[in-house]
Structure 1
Amino acid sequence: MTLLETFRKLDLFTKVESRNQSSTTQGGLVSIIVSILIFLVCFYEFSDFYTYKEKYQFFVDEALVRDMAINFDITVNTDCKSLRFDIFDNTGSHNNIKANVKKESVSAYISNPGLRNANTDINKGLSTNKKGEDHIHDIINLSGRKKKEKKVPRHLANSPKTACRFYGTVVASKVKGSMYFSHVGSGIIKLMGGNISLPTYYFPNLTLAANFSHTIDELSFGPLYPSLVNPLDNTFQISQKGGEEFGYYVNIIPTIYTGIGGTTLPTNQYAVHQHFASEGPSHTLPGILFNYDIEPIRVEVTEVRIPFMKFLVRLCSMIGGIFVTTGLMLRIVDVLFSKTKNSNYQRVQTTQLLPEDFSYGNVKHHN
């Protein structure tokens, strides 16, 4: 006898020999059902094991960072000579940063199929703009890629350049502040000793005639990751009659993403609330206003997966539980069936012991 044959015959659990077993249709059906159930459980567990999960933790933001980068690429449907851009914050500082922001005359278009109306679906969080690829490792991998160059549709290549594109990165104080796109017939006034800055207008008729329809191709805070899609990226707003104010109120939340391999990505998420006012009220200030505020908390999003040993133990316990539960149920059914069968058998035997001409209390005698 070889070692392999000896090993095969070695069994710590007693088993009934096959010649003493009886196969039934019910038993085969139960075996098929149990096999299908085990397959479904295994499929679910493997899918769950290979699915990445996100763990969110919230902390008080203790980072001593004085400055914050603001990245934007915004096209306004008014010629560059008629527009100005200002940024000011709650510290009272106001900087006209024309020299740090690039202006480019472009053709006006808002019919690009890739654009979304800013009135809908703007608070989806940071993403890759690709279905099924919004996991943390996808975001981290895509953060290093360059964004494709903005292309003007062919039918607008030779059209008049009546719009103005503002793009660049501005480094501002990391405090509450505002960015404002307005007409050249406006200026900035300071109230309460310079602590509050508000736009005012020298030539109201010019500002009311301005068209502030606009597209936002990029608006992000902190390090620039061109390929990642923020809530206001690729959105547009249309001015119906001129002189409207488009207000965006942005709440910035510092966020750190940590991938499954330990790679980190520091960035900033934000949520947006909108305000729209048409011409008429005295407080309406035609233009495009971005009010931003930094939340005092920090969010850490970590990508996690079930440990392999935990997955293995859970899978084995579930499969074993199915076998044990099925065996217990079959045993209970078998016991109940056996009792019913024995009761019927005894009743039949008792009936067969009584002759046709014999009954209790009525005995016939034969000569």
Structure 2
Amino acid sequence: MQVMNRLRQLDAYPKINEDFYSRTLSGGVITLVSTIMMVLLFFSELALFLHPMTESELIVDTSRGETLQINFDVTFPALACSILSLDAMDISGEQHLDVKHNIIKKRIDSQGNVIETRPDGIGAPLIEKPLQRHGGRLEHNETYCGSCFGAEQADDECCNNCEEVREAYRKKGWALTNPDLIDQCKREGFLQKIKEEEGEGCNIYGSIEVNKVAGNFHFAPGKSFQHSNMHVHDLLAFQKESFNVSHKIHKLSFGAHFPGVINPLDDVEQTQQTATGMYQYFIKVVPTVYTDIRGHKILTNQVSMGLELSFILYMQVNMCLLMQHAYISVDLTKRI
């Protein structure tokens, strides 16, 4: 109680007797206006403190040998997951064909409902008593070594499932024209699986690491490989004349997220109106260092983009040229 009394007596501005001052209208107006201005200034400064302005500064990027992480989430409502692949390549000649690491695929029905979710490359059925490389069937306590059907690069190389046979063919630059003639593909029901997924779509998402140089990555049907210095996709096994590459890009970013980042391709949707064609997105990537008010730095990127739609006739010899795809070309500006 004694403490409260002392607090009441505490006054930074000693009072004077009322006989020595008088209240006026102008003084009241000045007091009111001053109070309002102080309140407005307080909230103005508080808003500036809570929402700091971002200042930009351009400097030369002298870094070398770094990598770029590309994060994506794209839905193809008319392409089944079993035929959809992702490739990346750059001007240095490095290629990542049929990328599967850190990639997740969701099978979706015509209504967009999820049927199945699994990491890419996972889910092939087990094969009982498959055909050995030497021609006989797998016997008890015998190690399985499947034939690569002429595509092996060493005498002791084995292809134990359909995917490994297709990969061996890809490395050779060969097209797999009839999977039913391949023991592994026949036993795994490769063509049957494609037929069962007819009419389905695919949501593919994840991230890839590429060199921090100009290049491109694309989503396309078929198994990709190099043939006569050309990048081609083997579509013969799917027994279709055309593919619908309509798509919606839910998310596409380069590097880590930072406050205020704008990704121009987020929520972009394209519907294919013709039997053939491809969508090309041209992206300018600007390496960025974001520093917050506490001095923490985030190494990331900003992007700008353009879109081009091409209508192309396709050729078929022993392979199909890459014609129908969503093609994203990336160019890096050497500035931050």
In the superposition, the TM-score normalised over structure 1's length comes to: 0.51
Equivalent of 2:327 in 289, 292, 302:
289
Deviation, structure 1 residue 169: 3.2
Deviation, structure 1 residue 240: 2.7
Equivalent of 1:250 in 283, 294, 298:
283
2:63 corresponding residue in structure 1: 63
Post-superposition Cα deviations, 1:161-211, rounded to whole Å, max 9, x if no partner, equal: 611343443332222111122333987666xxx5xx5658988xx786311
Indicate the structure with greater helix content: 1
Structure 2 unmatched ranges of 5 or more: 1-9, 114-196, 316-321
* 2:92 is aligned with 1:96: no
Structure possessing the higher radius of gyration over alpha carbons: 1
Equivalent of 1:176 in 214, 222, 242:
214
Structure 1 unmatched ranges of 5 or more: 1-6, 113-158, 299-367
Distance 1:8 1:201, change over 3 A: closer
Cα separation, 2, equivalents of 1:22 and 1:285:
90
1:262 corresponding residue in structure 2: 295
User: What SS does the aligned partner of 1:53 have?
Assistant: coil
Deviation, structure 1 residue 89: 1.6
* 2:245 is aligned with 1:212: yes
Q: Which has the larger displacement, 272-281 or 167-176?
A: 272-281
Deviation, structure 1 residue 288: 0.6
Cα separation, 1, equivalents of 2:265 and 2:215:
18
User: What SS does the aligned partner of 2:92 have?
Assistant: coil
Distance 1:208 1:271, change over 3 A: farther
Cα separation, 2, equivalents of 1:286 and 1:66:
31
- Contact 1:68–1:221 (CA<8 Å) still a contact in 2? yes
Cα separation, 2, equivalents of 1:230 and 1:9:
55
What is the one-letter code of the residue matched to 2:75? T
- Contact 1:105–1:162 (CA<8 Å) still a contact in 2? no
Post-superposition Cα deviations, 1:213-266, rounded to whole Å, max 9, x if no partner, equal: 1132443334589xx984434443222344232111111122222233332222
- Contact 2:218–2:325 (CA<8 Å) still a contact in 1? yes
Q: Give the alignment of 1:20-99 within 5 angstroms.
A: 21-76=21-76, 77-99=78-100
Cα separation, 2, equivalents of 1:163 and 1:202:
17
1:122 corresponding residue in structure 2: none
- Contact 1:60–1:296 (CA<8 Å) still a contact in 2? yes
1:305 corresponding residue in structure 2: none
Distance 1:45 1:178, change over 3 A: closer
Q: Which has the larger displacement, 166-175 or 15-24?
A: 15-24
Q: Give the alignment of 1:1-367 within 5 angstroms.
A: 19=19, 21-76=21-76, 77-100=78-101, 102=103, 104=105, 106-108=107-109, 162-184=200-222, 209-222=242-255, 230-278=263-311, 285-298=323-336
- Contact 2:65–2:211 (CA<8 Å) still a contact in 1? no
User: What SS does the aligned partner of 1:56 have?
Assistant: coil
Aligned residues: 236
User: What SS does the aligned partner of 2:294 have?
Assistant: coil
In the superposition, the TM-score normalised over structure 2's length comes to: 0.54
- Contact 2:276–2:312 (CA<8 Å) still a contact in 1? yes
Cα separation, 2, equivalents of 1:170 and 1:268:
15
What is the one-letter code of the residue matched to 2:56? Y
Cα separation, 2, equivalents of 1:50 and 1:62:
34
Post-superposition Cα deviations, 1:108-155, rounded to whole Å, max 9, x if no partner, equal: 56879xxxxxxxxxxxxxxxxxxxxxxxxxxxxxxxxxxxxxxxxxxx
Distance 1:23 1:289, change over 3 A: same
Distance 1:98 1:16, change over 3 A: closer
Calculate the aligned-residue CA RMSD, in Å. Answer: 4.4
Cα separation, 2, equivalents of 1:45 and 1:84:
52
Cα separation, 2, equivalents of 1:181 and 1:26:
74
2:156 corresponding residue in structure 1: none
Distance 1:16 1:274, change over 3 A: same
Cα separation, 2, equivalents of 1:233 and 1:10:
60
Distance 1:54 1:281, change over 3 A: same
Distance 1:31 1:102, change over 3 A: closer
